[in-house]
Amino acid sequence: MKGFGTGRTLKRLDEMLTDAINGTFEESRYDETELSRLESRWKQYLTTSKMSMEKTGKERENMKALVSDISHQTKTPLSNILLYAQLLEEKAEDEEEKFLAGQIVSQTEKLEFLIQSLVKMSRLETEVLEVKPEQNRIKPLVVQALEAVLPKAEKKKIRVSGDIPEQTEAVYDLKWTLEALENVLDNAVKYSPEGSCITVEVRAYEFYVCICVTDEGMGIPEEEKAQIFTRFYRSSRVQQEDGIGIGLYLAREILQKENGFIKVTAGEKKGSCFGLYLPAKTEAE
């Protein structure tokens, strides 16, 4: 008889847990007068967990609304400040006025970049925007990313070369993966010396397609290789350079949402090699 009671209790506990996992747990379905002490405590725990999940869901919805609000409310004022600062720069009568107006333009652009980066980060983390990977050719992705960073590379006389197979495909979201690849390329240009070279290669493996970005910069110490992908991390060696430490964090988050990953290794001669790994095929295949 004792064994029967234990079996019944385990069965009820299993039913409660199954309902909780399926999201169908309802406190009213389990009458406390009919439950053993262990079952009653299990019920209290699951009820509390359900309330906690509901609270987390509401907080996420509030965060989504807040992020949307910030993005909307700051867009127009920043655009206006930038426009007026550019007009002041054009109409400056002496070098000092031109310098001050230029500083306003520069600082406004940095603020705009910071806000947009934080908004992108928040949208990814709160799933306001979903990453929707599809089977696509790799070449259009790489070409668009290179076109975005070439003006900055040309200013530093950096040569950018690439080996991009025409037909190689991978599973990725074009918009978000372009953001990730541009962030990596932008860093390569930013931290590479003038007159150096950046190489982009596409390597196809059985399960992944890797976009390799190799630069001739200062390289990354072994102890920093895990840290550079964390939010707001900046090495003490690059504190004087522009940046806020979000680019590589965003790249990692985007690739993870596509079931891919990013890693960094030392370049063959010097500098660093960033590998962006994308699934070669969809899971269904």
Please list the rounded mean pLDDT of every run of 10 residues in the chain (285 residues): 55 69 60 53 65 65 66 75 84 83 82 75 67 90 92 91 87 91 91 90 92 88 80 64 74 90 80 92 63
**Residue in the structure block whose two tokens are 């603020």:** 111
Cβ neighbourhood burial of 1 (10 Å; 0-12, 13-18, 19+): exposed
What is the spatial distance between Cα 285 and Cα 19, in angstroms, rounded to a whole number?
32
**Residue in the structure block whose two tokens are 């000092």:** 96
pLDDT at 27: 56
Give the CA angle between residues 34, 40, 41 to the nearest 5°.
170
pLDDT at 7: 64
Cα dist. 275→174, 188, 236 in Å?
17, 12, 23
Instruction: Say if residues 252 and 121 touch (Cβ distance below 8 Å).
Output: no
CA torsion through residues 10, 16, 18, 20, sign: negative
What is the spatial distance between Cα 46 and Cα 20, in angstroms, rounded to a whole number?
7
pLDDT at 57: 64
What is the spatial distance between Cα 158 and Cα 183, in angstroms, rounded to a whole number?
17
pLDDT at 177: 93
170 DSSP β-pair partners: 136
Instruction: Say if residues 170 and 132 touch (Cβ distance below 8 Å).
Output: no
| Reported pTM | 0.65
